[in-house]
Structure 1
Amino acid sequence: MKAVNKRNLAVVTLIVILVVFVMWRERDSEAVAVFKSQELPTESGPRAGLLAPALTLQGSDGSTYQVGGKREKAVLLNFWASWCDPCQQEAPELNVIAAKYKDSLDIYGINVTSHDYKPNAERFVKKFKLTFPVMYDQKGEAFAKYNGAVFPTNVLIDKNGVISEIILGILTPEELEAKITALIGS
């Protein structure tokens, strides 16, 4: 009887060791898979999944603002024109989002001045009391870097500098906020 107990104990011990080994290997391979899925792209361009093209613009407040590379907060680039009706509809909601997510999101309003008249754009900023930094893309170079085609164009960029999505045209406030919360949570 003692030999049977020793054999059973040896079998149980071996099974426990195998289970622990298999669980350890699965956990290790999951960690590798998670690490690989979080690797950053090396290519930049105006497309979701690529690094955001680098740009530096001076804001109307005199500060310099940069996009490109890792940063503390996600970014929403809002390309707009003063004559654009959807841009006018969207402006109050952008103020709300800027205030609500100020700790985790930067909004940069970029007037594409090459398609606008700067005094009209300045009136737009005052009329809608924009609370986020506003820049003037005098030559349309920033808009071109993001293959801008319509107004508004919103570019969502995560903290790693990767474009999450490029939104052409206006969304409902609920749709835009859902995209913002997904961006911040990623």
Structure 2
Amino acid sequence: MKKTNVLFGLTALALVLMGVWQMVRTDQIIRAATAPPKPVLAVTMPVPPESLKGLDGKDYTIGGARDKPMLLNFWASWCGPCHEEVPALKAVYERYGSQFDLYAVNVSKGDRMKDVKSFVSQYGVKFPVLLDSTGGAANDYRILFVPTSFLIDKEGRLVEIIHVLPPEELEMKIRKLVEGGGEA
């Protein structure tokens, strides 16, 4: 009789736990289905608008029409390829900086501020460094790994998504972007 009660109690507990799990899972599915859709991120489509605070304390807006095309670079201080890429970014900025905007978006949610500042100082970064402290911009731009860069035209449309490139290839893409030649 005692074994039967224990077995019955364990079965009842398992059924209750399965019911709770099913309710939680159903709630997650309903929330996902009713959440507003993420903006489309495809070549020729407008990029998601974001407003981010810069390391310099200023507010910056990405997305939408602007005076110049833009290279939007997502990076982190702990990222080895980001260290490799920054000299090429600096070089194109020094050469074409008056013709395009270069914003370096630090995925601050997974980085430490002292490391961000050290990285910027170590490489003498002169272009604006924006802080994605909530991870919202990285999420909207669907960042899976860093570095990832977005070439954006003056109308705020995505031209191309790029990753670390040899300096001469990056310069070629930036030159095409500033000349307004469509795909970089």
TM-score range, shorter chain: 0.7 to 0.9
Work out whether residues 47 and 166 of structure 1, in 8 Å CA contact, stay in contact via their aligned partners in 2.
Answer: no
Matching residue of 1:74: 69
Q: Does 1:128 align with 2:128?
A: no
For residues 1-40 of structure 1, the aligned pairs below 5 Å read none
Partners of 1:68 and 1:60 in 2: CA distance: 19
Runs of 4+ aligned structure 1 residues displaced above 2 Å come to: none
| Aligned mate of 1:184, from 149, 173, 178 | 178
Normalising by structure 2, we get a TM-score of 0.74
Gaps of 5+ in 2: 1-38
Where 2:105 maps in the other structure, the secondary structure is strand
Cα displacement string for residues 137-175 of structure 1 (whole angstroms, at most 9, x for unaligned residues) = 1111111111101110000000111100111x3111111
Partners of 1:51 and 1:157 in 2: CA distance: 9
Cα displacement string for residues 60-87 of structure 1 (whole angstroms, at most 9, x for unaligned residues) = 1121111121111101111001011110
Partners of 2:110 and 2:65 in 1: CA distance: 30
Where 2:40 maps in the other structure, the secondary structure is coil
Work out whether residues 88 and 170 of structure 2, in 8 Å CA contact, stay in contact via their aligned partners in 1.
Answer: no
Number of residue equivalences:
142
| Aligned mate of 2:98, from 95, 99, 103 | 103
Cα displacement string for residues 101-139 of structure 1 (whole angstroms, at most 9, x for unaligned residues) = 122110001110112222111110111110100011111
Work out whether residues 45 and 146 of structure 1, in 8 Å CA contact, stay in contact via their aligned partners in 2.
Answer: no
Residue identity opposite 2:96 in structure 1: Y
Matching residue of 2:89: 94
Partners of 2:41 and 2:171 in 1: CA distance: 22
Partners of 1:104 and 1:182 in 2: CA distance: 11
Matching residue of 1:172: 166
Partners of 1:121 and 1:62 in 2: CA distance: 14
Give the share of equivalent positions with the same residue, in percent: 41
Where 1:61 maps in the other structure, the secondary structure is coil
Q: What RMSD in Å do the two structures reach over aligned CA positions?
A: 1.1
Q: CA deviation at 1:45?
A: 2.8
